[in-house]
């Protein structure tokens, strides 16, 4: 009998985690083979390897402990990949040579499958003097464009591209440009971005006093702190970025603040890390530990939790010795501190199973109790490992116990550490678990609420056809199995209806006993007022959170696709599209070409190319408005002939069918040449096709078809035909379905589970 409780779970295993030969023939015949492979690989460093292999297998069995995707996919395969999920890279020097040395390290790290984080605050601001070359600095954002281009060309191990986090201090002179960077819909798409917020800044915001923007002790600008805070809030209200990271709080609470300084995090924010620090992740599946679910005496099995946590800590500690590292500096950092990030998944489902509404005071209190028990069990297990194998090399008992987090730890745990030391400098973190939660039977992800009770997923079959299947939340399915068609109790709540401040309450409750941080998305309704939106962030600060990330669906960010027959608009409202067989089809009869058209011709000189490209765009006037009708692309370079003709025909065909054709610009500007792009007019352009897209965009601005650069590129022609219950976001890059949702700070596909973060 299969161990999988839902078809999607088996599909995720087969697609993401099943060990296969290069030709696709499975080596792992069943999921039990995967568990055995992982258990054996992580037990090999033990003196009694056979004993610990069985212990590890039992923890993995039935999806009780879920190592992060890198471990599940890579352990025991002998592939040249890292088992660590993410890294914070070295401090970026403020020199051209140093910057590009860091770029090389980033490429090597992502090539082995690691996401990366960088603090760009160390690069001098735009316009600052560059000593020795009589030039002005281009600023950190120009170099972020280079990182973004590199990331697009590096395919991480497995089937996802690398993810990156960029941070910048709230007192950097270029912070305003950093805050608004994502207003350009095609810029820095490979980055998650967060502002490093200091305690002094928050005090200045509350007091409404001035704030200096400075670099290397030179003040460049002085602004009002509250105005800058409002700039951050407005950008994340409109574009869901940047997030905020309360960096002084992170450093004050860090168990290692006596020997490291943190200025960046991994891509989803749950692991604040020093230069070359690495995050090693895994999650306890809380749903598998609830006894008598939905009954009056439903409760978590505390003895089983303690035992599972202790085994998980040992497994994760062994990964430090079993894993490869892209860089020697990363290996040295991991060995010196042996930090791990044990978290949870299925928390919301577990709360439902014991009769608690996620977001209630009772649920927050229960969450705090559970997380405290996990922290205690993890720290005591690490003390036991220290007695057996030794403490981490940089352990200093007096300094370690004096840190902010350890001062709140229970006295018996502190006493044990003082006497025996501790094996792992940090032990707890709550990471994104979007994919592994699907693999475990669609349990709720991390500490997030249930996103949806059920949804329909299209599944691509081997013969190319697609079938539909219902994907049901684990707790909801368990309720159905026990009680049939009985209505769900009123304590069932999901992310669509949960008030934002209830999200904050749950994050704060969990954070008290998490020594690293938490990946959490606070879902906000589209119509939330701006002042109420700002209150979410202030509440996160006031209640002890280490950061805050929100998601508000709107015309820019998009929302989850939801279509029903009653939502369909009459065809008369959408004359430029036709319907067939119940599908929206983006074709109609092309417009007839008049005898004469007005247009413009542009010369594009691509660096290092012998011949220029000439782009002619002709326009037609309809209902008093000018719009593009056709394009001609010509070059004397015969190597360009085939693709320029193809591009000419395709773009012209799109233009002649009317509607909102601005997406052509977006698609072209998003094309990255793996051989590298070029600097043009002070801006990095990732490919010659992107340069053509930029020319077309400038023309559309000139004729008034779009308002400005990077603007007006997200309108979806389908919205005129089908009411999507809000704007539709981007298609999933893996399966093409419009079911991307923001979960734990990362866009995740509800149809196939694709996520760049897990």
Q: Which residues are catalytic?
A: 266, 268, 270
Return the bridge partners of 278, or none: 87
Do the beta carbons of residue 121 and residue 167 sit within 8 Å?
Answer: yes
Beta strand 550-551 pairing with 578-580? unpaired
Nearest of 404, 480, 385 to residue 252 by alpha carbon = 404
Nearest to 106 by CA among 329, 343, 358, 396: 329
CA pair distance 500, 549, nearest whole angstrom: 11
Please name every residue paired with 116 in a beta bridge, in sequence order, or none if there are none. Answer: 87, 164
Sign of the dihedral through C-alpha 288, 294, 295, 298 = positive
597 φ/ψ angles, rounded to the nearest 5 degrees: -135, 150
Three-class secondary structure of residue 23 per DSSP: coil
Q: For residue 330, what are its two tokens?
A: 């990363």
Helix (H) or strand (E) holding 633: strand 625-635
> Distance between CA 315 and CA 340 in Å, rounded?
10
Judged by DSSP in three states, 336 sits in helix
Other C-beta atoms lying within 10 Å of the C-beta of residue 623: 5
What is the full DSSP assignment across 99-160? HHHHHHHHHHHHHTT-EEEEEGGGSPPTT-EETTTTEE---HHHHHHHHHHHHHH-BPSSS-
Q: For 195, which DSSP code?
A: E
- CA distance linking residue 738 with residue 43, whole number of Å: 42
Helix (H) or strand (E) holding 364: helix 361-389
């Amino acid at each position: 009998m299969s161990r999988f409780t839902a078809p999607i779970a088996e599909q995720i295993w087969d697609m993401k985690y099943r060990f296969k030969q290069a030709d696709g023939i499975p080596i792992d015949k069943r999921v039990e083979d995967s568990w055995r492979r992982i258990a054996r690989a992580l037990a090999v460093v033990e003196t009694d390897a056979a004993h610990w292999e069985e212990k590890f297998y039992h923890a993995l069995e039935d999806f009780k402990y879920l190592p992060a995707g890198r471990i599940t996919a890579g352990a025991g395969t002998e592939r040249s990949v890292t088992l660590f999920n993410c890294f914070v890279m070295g401090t970026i020097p403020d020199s051209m040579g140093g910057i590009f040395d860091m770029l090389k390290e980033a490429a090597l790290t992502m090539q082995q499958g690691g996401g990366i984080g960088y603090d760009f605050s160390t690069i001098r601001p735009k316009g600052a003097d560059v000593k020795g070359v009589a030039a002005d600095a281009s600023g950190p954002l120009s170099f972020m464009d280079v990182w973004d281009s590199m990331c697009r060309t590096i395919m991480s191990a497995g089937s996802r591209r690398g993810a990156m986090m960029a941070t910048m201090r709230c007192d950097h002179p270029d912070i305003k440009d950093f805050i608004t960077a994502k207003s350009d819909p095609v810029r820095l798409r490979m980055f998650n971005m967060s502002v490093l917020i200091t305690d002094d800044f928050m005090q200045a915001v509350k007091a409404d006093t001035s704030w200096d923007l400075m670099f290397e002790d030179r003040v460049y600008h002085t602004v009002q702190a509250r105005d800058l805070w409002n700039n951050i809030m407005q950008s994340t209200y409109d574009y869901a970025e940047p997030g905020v990271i309360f960096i002084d709080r992170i450093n004050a609470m860090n168990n290692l603040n006596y020997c490291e300084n943190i200025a960046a995090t991994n891509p989803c924010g749950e692991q604040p890390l020093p230069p070359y620090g690495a995050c090693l992740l895994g999650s306890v599946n809380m749903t598998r530990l609830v006894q008598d679910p939905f009954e009056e005496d439903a409760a978590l099995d505390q003895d089983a939790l303690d035992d599972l946590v202790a085994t998980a800590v040992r497994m994760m500690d062994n990964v430090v010795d079993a894993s490869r590292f892209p860089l020697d500096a990363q290996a040295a950092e991991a060995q010196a501190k042996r930090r791990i990030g044990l978290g949870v998944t299925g928390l919301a489902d577990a709360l439902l199973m014991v009769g608690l509404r996620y977001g209630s005071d009772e649920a927050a209190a229960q969450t705090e109790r559970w997380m405290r028990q996990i922290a205690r069990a993890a720290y005591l297990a690490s003390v036991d490992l220290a007695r057996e194998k030794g403490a981490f090399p940089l352990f200093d008992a007096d300094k370690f116990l004096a840190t902010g987090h350890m001062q709140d730890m229970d006295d018996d745990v502190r006493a044990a550490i003082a006497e025996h030391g501790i094996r792992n400098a940090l032990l707890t973190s709550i990471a994104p678990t979007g994919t592994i939660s699907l693999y475990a039977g669609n349990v709720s992800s991390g500490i997030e609420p249930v996103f949806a009770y059920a949804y329909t997923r299209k599944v691509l079959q081997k013969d190319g056809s697609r079938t539909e299947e219902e994907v049901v939340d684990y707790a909801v399915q368990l309720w159905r199995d026990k009680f049939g068609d009985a209505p769900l109790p009123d304590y069932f709540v999901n992310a669509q209806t949960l008030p934002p401040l209830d999200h904050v309450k749950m994050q704060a409750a969990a954070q008290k006993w998490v020594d690293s941080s938490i990946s959490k998305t606070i879902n906000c309704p589209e119509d939330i007022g701006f002042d109420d939106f700002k209150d979410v962030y202030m509440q996160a600060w006031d209640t002890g959170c280490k950061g805050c990330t929100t998601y508000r669906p709107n015309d820019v960010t998009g929302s989850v696709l939801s279509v029903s027959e009653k939502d369909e608009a009459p065809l008369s409202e959408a004359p430029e599209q036709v319907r067939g067989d119940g599908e929206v089809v983006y074709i109609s009869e092309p417009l007839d070409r008049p005898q004469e058209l007005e247009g413009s011709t542009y010369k594009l000189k691509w660096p290092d190319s012998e011949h220029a490209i000439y782009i002619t765009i002709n326009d037609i006037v309809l209902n008093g408005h000018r719009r593009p009708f056709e394009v001609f692309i010509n070059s004397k370079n015969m190597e360009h002939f085939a693709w320029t003709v193809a591009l000419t025909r395709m773009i012209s065909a799109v233009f002649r069918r009317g509607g909102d054709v601005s997406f052509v610009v977006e698609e072209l500007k998003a094309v990255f040449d793996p051989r590298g792009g070029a600097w043009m007019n002070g801006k990095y352009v990732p490919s010659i096709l992107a340069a053509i897209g930029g020319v077309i965009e400038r023309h559309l601005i000139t004729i008034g078809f779009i308002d400005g650069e990077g603007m007006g590129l997200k309108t979806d022609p389908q919205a005129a035909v089908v009411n999507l219950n809000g704007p539709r976001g981007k298609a999933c890059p893996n399966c093409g379905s419009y079911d991307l949702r923001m979960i734990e700070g990362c866009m995740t596909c509800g149809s196939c589970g694709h996520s760049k973060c897990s």
